[in-house]
């Protein structure tokens, strides 16, 4: 939750009370709501993107296997499928590396 950390770092601690003033709590609540809203929007966008990607892949596959389609077009569809598959593998690899780095950073943070 980077939003929480950022808001807490930017807001001064309440003098004497040891906590945050009401204004700071309000800003923190707003930040948390916005963070949740943004996460929900990203999730919905990913779902739409996945659906569109699935439709595109289906179109490429149909084009590739249709015997009535010229050979050059079928080869182009096959190349597109291979290119997209290679990019997907690269993205998965990057995501796995990032997850490992984040776990390492969290573990290092807990030790300090």
pLDDT in tens, 63-87: 988 999 999 999 998 898 888 888 8
Residue 85 exposed, middle or buried by CB count within 10 Å (0-12, 13-18, 19+): exposed
Return the pLDDT at 101.
Answer: 92
Q: C-alpha angle with apex 4: 41 to 96, nearest 5 degrees?
A: 60
DSSP 3-state of 16: coil
Look up the pTM and report it: 0.49
DSSP 3-state of 20: coil
Q: Pull the structure tokens for residue 81.
A: 């499928």
Return the pLDDT at 97.
Answer: 93
CA distance 80 to 7: 44
Return the pLDDT at 98.
Answer: 93
pLDDT in tens, 15-69: 444 454 555 556 666 666 777 777 777 777 777 777 787 788 888 888 988 999 9
How many C-beta atoms surround the C-beta of residue 77 within 10 A?
19
pLDDT in tens, 12-28: 444 444 454 555 556 66
């Amino acid at each position: 939750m980077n939003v929480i950390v950022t808001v807490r770092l930017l807001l001064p601690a309440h003098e004497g009370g040891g906590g945050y003033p009401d204004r700071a709590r309000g800003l923190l609540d707003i930040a948390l709501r916005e963070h949740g809203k943004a996460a929900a929007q990203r999730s919905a966008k990913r779902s739409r993107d996945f659906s569109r990607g699935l439709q595109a892949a289906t179109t490429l596959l149909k084009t590739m296997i249709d015997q009535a389609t010229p050979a050059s077009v079928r080869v182009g569809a096959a190349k597109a499928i291979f290119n997209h598959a290679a990019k997907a593998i690269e993205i998965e690899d990057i995501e796995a590396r990032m997850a490992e780095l984040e776990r390492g950073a969290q573990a290092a943070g807990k030790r300090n």
